């Protein structure tokens, strides 16, 4: 499924992104674009993998223009960027909404505009009957992605 494809991975330097990249590189993609805010983590990931198929883009899913630039030419987008720490989301609700929901809206709109054929989003079991803001934002993200398929 990934052979010869260009993949954009938002939140690519997180724990999911690191493992995804490790596994996906074995599937012979053309390129994996790692999109994240952390320049140090990108440098460490570059050194860890040492694979020129990994391309690094510093950016935030809140910035639609930068996200679009990274997404143009991608065949598949894997959306893993999110604020994930429950206490951080509770204490910073606007930030959680801006990243987890507005960021998802940007992913959807950029994917449509860039004609990306497949978008896969990473959610959480906390989105089912949410009892905290993190779960609520992930539930909304799911609804946004499902509706985008319509």
Continuous H helices in the chain? 15-25, 39-49, 64-71, 86-91, 93-97, 103-114, 133-148
Distances, alpha carbon 57 to alpha carbons 33, 76, 85, 129, 140, in Å: 7, 16, 23, 35, 26
Exactly one of 30, 126, 138, 143 is catalytic; name it. Answer: 126
5 is catalytic: no
- Return the active site residues: 126
């Amino acid at each position: 499924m990934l052979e010869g494809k260009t993949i954009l991975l938002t939140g690519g330097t997180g724990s999911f992104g690191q493992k995804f990249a490790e596994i996906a590189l074995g599937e012979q993609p053309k390129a994996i674009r790692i999109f994240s805010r952390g320049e140090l983590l990108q440098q460490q990931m570059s050194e860890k993998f040492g694979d020129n198929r990994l391309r690094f883009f510093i950016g935030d899913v809140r910035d639609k223009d930068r996200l679009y630039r990274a997404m143009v030419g991608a065949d598949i987008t894997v959306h893993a960027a999110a604020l994930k720490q429950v206490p951080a989301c509770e204490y910073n609700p606007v930030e959680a909404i801006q990243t987890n929901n507005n960021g998802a809206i940007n992913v959807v709109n950029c994917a449509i505009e860039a004609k990306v054929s497949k978008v896969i989003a990473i959610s959480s079991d906390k989105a089912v009957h949410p009892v905290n803001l993190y779960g609520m934002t992930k539930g909304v993200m799911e609804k946004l992605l499902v509706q985008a398929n319509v």
